A and B are shown apart, each in its own frame.
Chain A
Amino acid sequence: MTAPLAIPTNTSDPLVLYGETFASRLLLGTSRYPSPQVLENAVKQSNPGMITVSLRRQGTSTTEAHSGFWELLKKMAVPVLPNTAGCHSPKEVITTAQMAREVFETHWIKLELIGDDYTLQPDTLRLVSTAETLIKDGFKVLPYCTEDLILCQRLVDVGCQAVMPWAAPIGTGQGPLNPYALKLLRDRLKVPLLVDAGLGLPSHACSVMEWGFDGVLLNTAVALADDPVAMANAFALSVSAGRTAYLSGAMKAQQSAQASTPLVGTPFWHQS
């Protein structure tokens, strides 16, 4: 592999969520990597603004296999975003969030309330009231949701200062399935929007950043790449490129060709 490219930094354009500033617009999950060492290297390479973490029953094979995870988290020293993955009811979400707050010593929570096990589609009907309960309990809630405009507006109405619509179902890597709805969200909502779930390629991340999204959260696309560390680098670069493109103001697409080289004085010019 060639040497990784350096991630550009732009301190004049930081990601700000709930009044807090983050070093990067890329948020990275910590699951499904081939080894803790690969995870650590991927995090080092991509310098994410936050890394997502979770909670499971102690004594299970999952937690036993990750017994060194806590030490690794402290070593990496990146802000953590606990999730409520696997919760299917508001009660489960709220209890898990409270437990996460104590374990990780953070008020941040990625709100996941699953309504369907096959698609991992959020339970949108109960998501808003659950977000409101968490916010009243002092949490800084980042809700994982669908790209529905009214749902996202209601989440903002109850106090979510950022919203995280999916691009596609979790872990599918399909990229944005509904660009129209995502662009509409960007146009209508004024809070930070981060695309969470379903991204598979750096070009997917670049696209949503070009559309004006404030960040992306991804996991599987990096963790399951043949070379997760190189892919983490690629995603970090794509997020930066997309953001720069958005701020630069893209040209309008044209229906007909327009010569970029001046035609005046062209030798052998034939005008039919």
Chain B
Amino acid sequence: MRVIVNQIAKEVSDGSTIDDVLLLIDAKPPFAVAINYEFVPKTRHAEEVLREGDEMEVISPVTGG
């Protein structure tokens, strides 16, 4: 199935969890995840299954004002 990760389309297996996608994109900690603009705490990354067309955001610390 197709999901959008940080605005880039990715093909992932049906039933993929957030952890599976994080592994696929080689996400570097620390990061936080949102699915379809909803925050998903890390305690749920292993169990949260993505669906076709889901938009996943993986964000990390940067400088800020």
Give the B-binding residues of A (Cβ under 8 A). 29-33, 39, 52-60, 62-63, 66-67, 69-70, 73, 82-83, 85, 91-92, 95-96, 98-100, 102-104, 170-171, 219-220
Docked complex Cα distance between A7 and B57 (Å): 42
B59 interface residue per 8 A CB criterion? yes
Query: Does the CB pair B37–A55 fall under 8 Å?
Result: no
Q: Smallest CB–CB gap between B63 and chain A, Å?
A: 4
Which residue on A lies nearest to B5, using beta carbons? A59
The interface size bin for chain B is: 20 to 34
**Chain A residue contacts of B59, Cβ below 8 A:** 55-58, 96, 99, 103
Query: Does the CB pair B64–A29 fall under 8 Å?
Result: yes
Knowing A32-B65, A220-B65, say if A58 contacts B34 (CB, 8 Å): no
Q: Smallest CB–CB gap between A185 and chain B, Å?
A: 22
Query: Does the CB pair B25–A59 fall under 8 Å?
Result: yes
Q: Smallest CB–CB gap between A91 and chain B, Å?
A: 6
Query: Does the CB pair A56–B62 fall under 8 Å?
Result: yes
Q: Smallest CB–CB gap between A198 and chain B, Å?
A: 11
Knowing A70-B30, A102-B42, say if A55 contacts B60 (CB, 8 Å): yes
B32 interface residue per 8 A CB criterion? yes
Docked complex Cα distance between A105 and B32 (Å): 11
**Chain A residue contacts of B64, Cβ below 8 A:** 29-31, 52-54, 82-83, 85
Query: Does the CB pair A102–B63 fall under 8 Å?
Result: no
Docked complex Cα distance between A85 and B39 (Å): 17
Docked complex Cα distance between A103 and B41 (Å): 10
Q: Smallest CB–CB gap between B65 and chain A, Å?
A: 3
**Chain A residue contacts of B58, Cβ below 8 A:** 57-59
Docked complex Cα distance between A60 and B7 (Å): 11
Query: Does the CB pair B32–A100 fall under 8 Å?
Result: yes
Query: Does the CB pair A39–B63 fall under 8 Å?
Result: yes
Which residue on A lies nearest to B30, using beta carbons? A103
Docked complex Cα distance between A59 and B56 (Å): 13
**Chain A residue contacts of B62, Cβ below 8 A:** 53-56, 62-63, 66, 69
B13 interface residue per 8 A CB criterion? no
With A53-B64, A54-B63, A57-B7 known, 5 other A-B pairs at CB within 8 A are: A55-B59, A58-B31, A66-B61, A66-B63, A82-B64
As a 0/1 sequence over residues 3 to 42 of chain B, the CB contacts with chain A under 8 angstroms (1 = contact) are 0001100000000000000000101101111100111011
Query: Does the CB pair B27–A58 fall under 8 Å?
Result: yes
Query: Does the CB pair B60–A30 fall under 8 Å?
Result: no
**Chain A residue contacts of B39, Cβ below 8 A:** 95, 98-99, 102
Which residue on B lies nearest to A28, using beta carbons? B65
Docked complex Cα distance between A54 and B61 (Å): 6
Docked complex Cα distance between A59 and B59 (Å): 9
Q: Smallest CB–CB gap between B5 and chain A, Å?
A: 9
**Chain B residue contacts of A100, Cβ below 8 A:** 32
Query: Does the CB pair B61–A53 fall under 8 Å?
Result: yes
Docked complex Cα distance between A170 and B65 (Å): 9
**Chain B residue contacts of A53, Cβ below 8 A:** 61-64
